[in-house]
Amino acid sequence: MRLGRGIQVTKYFFVLLLTTLIWFGCSGRNPEPGWTAEGYFKYAQELYDDEDYYECANEFTIIILRYAGSSVADSAQFFLGMSHYQLEEFIISAAEFSKLINNMPQSPLVPDAQYMLGMSYYEMSPRAALDQEYTKKALRAFQLFIEDFPRHTRREDVEKQLLELREKLAQKEFLNAELYRKMFRLRSSLIYYDIVLERYYDTSWVDDALLGKALVYIDLEDWANAREQLLIFKDKFPDSDLNYAVERSLRKVSSNIDD
């Protein structure tokens, strides 16, 4: 009885092993020495489609090195960038997309690479209070995309992302202005309020900056300039939530001018 049971177990594992070997042999999951560039790329693409991003990144790298002049070299370079992007390795993905843009400028994948370059930096853009180096890089990448490919289907999405990035940069400059104002470095705060007003005129931070600028002039007891800024505010932003503060400041300014 024990011998028969042992034979049955052995047969079960033999069948299981044979099935596994047949499955791997038929699945095409292992590179073969005689593959063409196109065949190797198809294999790597299957790994990408299966979301095996670590492995396909290695395979796309091999394709780029081994088949540098092939018809799939630009596709391998693009999907190498995409693999790192999917792995959230955004610094590396940005570098790989840049290689495609700079080294293969005639590739039809350049527009997509330019967009993904912007997306790589976009993903690294931090909250407004922190350093905005990657926000600025994303902004430049998306601006180049709009300039070079104005009719691309992604244009509308990119325009929304550009505005979002500009909002964040405007907020950063506004926070700088507020910080200098709290430190009573009033002339410096005026510089940053003006940056918001002049450079980020299309953002939601303009009314905040204009009121902030008026309040600095009040702190400086420069009543004429304070009144001018407050009247400009009322004219430009009649529906702003800040109008109560503007009216209160106007009363203070008017009383000092009248005195």
Answer whether residue 211 shows pLDDT above 70: yes
Distance of CA 164 to the CA centre of its chain: 10
Percent of the chain with pLDDT over 90: 84
pLDDT at 53: 97
Residues in the chain: 259
pLDDT at 19: 40
Residue 9's pLDDT band, with cuts at 50, 70 and 90, is very low
Q: Using an 8 Å Cβ cutoff, are 92 and 58 in contact?
A: no
Tens of pLDDT, residues 223-234: 999 999 999 999
DSSP notation for 101-145 = HHH-TT-TTHHHHHHHHHHHHHHH---TTS--HHHHHHHHHHHHH
pLDDT at 21: 38
- In 183-242, alpha helices (H): 186-199, 206-219, 223-236
pLDDT at 249: 96
DSSP designation for 31: -
Per-residue H/E/C for 62-75: HHHHHCCCCCCHHH
pLDDT at 29: 58
Average pLDDT score over residue span 160-167: 97
Q: Looking at per-residue confidence, does 73 or 16 come out higher?
A: 73
Q: Looking at per-residue confidence, does 34 or 235 come out higher?
A: 235
Of 29-33, 59-63, 232-236, 252-256, where does mean pLDDT reach its minimum?
Answer: 29-33
pLDDT at 23: 37
Instruction: Compute the C-alpha angle 207/192/165, nearest 5°.
Output: 70
- The closest of 235, 228, 226, 190 to 209, measured between CA atoms, is 190
Whole-angstrom distance, CA of residue 92 vs CA of residue 53: 13
Average pLDDT score over residue span 37-65: 97
Average pLDDT score over residue span 178-195: 97
Q: What are all long-range contacts of 88-95, with beta carbons under 8 Å and residues at least 24 apart?
A: 88/123, 90/120, 90/121, 90/123, 90/124, 91/120, 91/124, 93/120, 94/120, 94/121, 94/137
Q: Looking at per-residue confidence, does 5 or 131 come out higher?
A: 131
Contacts of 122 (CB under 8 A, 6+ apart): 134, 138, 142, 161, 165
Tens of pLDDT, residues 75-133: 999 999 999 999 999 999 999 999 999 999 999 999 999 999 999 999 999 999 999 99
Whole-angstrom distance, CA of residue 70 vs CA of residue 67: 5
Whole-angstrom distance, CA of residue 220 vs CA of residue 29: 73
Residue 62's pLDDT band, with cuts at 50, 70 and 90, is very high
Percent of the chain with pLDDT over 70: 88
User: Percent helix, strand and coil across the chain, each rounded to 5?
Assistant: 75, 0, 25
pLDDT at 30: 73
Average pLDDT score over residue span 7-33: 48
Tokens coding 189: 């705060």
Tokens coding 41: 């790329």
Average pLDDT score over residue span 137-146: 98
Question: What is the pTM (predicted TM-score) of this model?
Answer: 0.84
Mean pLDDT score of the chain, rounded to an integer? 90
Q: Using an 8 Å Cβ cutoff, are 214 and 229 in contact?
A: yes
Whole-angstrom distance, CA of residue 100 vs CA of residue 109: 8
